[in-house]
A = this chain, B = another copy of it.
């Protein structure tokens, strides 16, 4: 049963339920962890590993990825440059709403264009936008090819495939660069969590 409102553990007592009240209640700050990188570079895998660690620390988290966005909110969008831009714009807006709600929102999309990622950074308010570049050579991504997409792209079956027939613009100033072809998932996840600790995201003081 959700705690009775009259019970002792209440600090908030009046006024609107705003971002500050949610952060205070949650015991950690809100943030957007924006994973970007080639297909197969480990964005989703790493986001899930980070989320598990944050959940154990009792943080409120949520992952936006192709599974829950491409077939829902953005199912009207394709992979043309314009649609990719609108795809990322909407994801940036939803991530911002999630962050406003007090959540640490992790997004796992290729998001190949620098200007689109910058757009999402500018949308983000009331928290921190943290770009996480999952750096991995195209050769290694293609070797992994977990969904067989590179094979299809090389065969010409997938047009505008990032890294093969569409550009990927590497981040120039990502807050975190994880080299997923040099370190394992646990090591990369720890690197991200260490950054959050260092930036005092996982505590409330100093907002």
Query: Taking beta carbons and an 8 Å cutoff, which residues of A are in contact with B?
Result: 1-5, 9-10, 12, 16-17, 21, 25-28, 48, 51-62, 64, 68-69, 72-73, 90, 93-94, 96-98, 100-103, 123, 202-204
Contacts and interface: CB of A to CB of B under 8 A. Distances in A.
Contacts of A53: 5
B100 A68 contact: yes
How many copies are assembled? Answer: 2
B73 A94 contact: yes
A69 to B, nearest CB: 8
A25 B68 CA distance: 22
B3 A57 contact: yes
Contacts of A57: 2-5
Contact of A2 (B93, B103, B202): B202
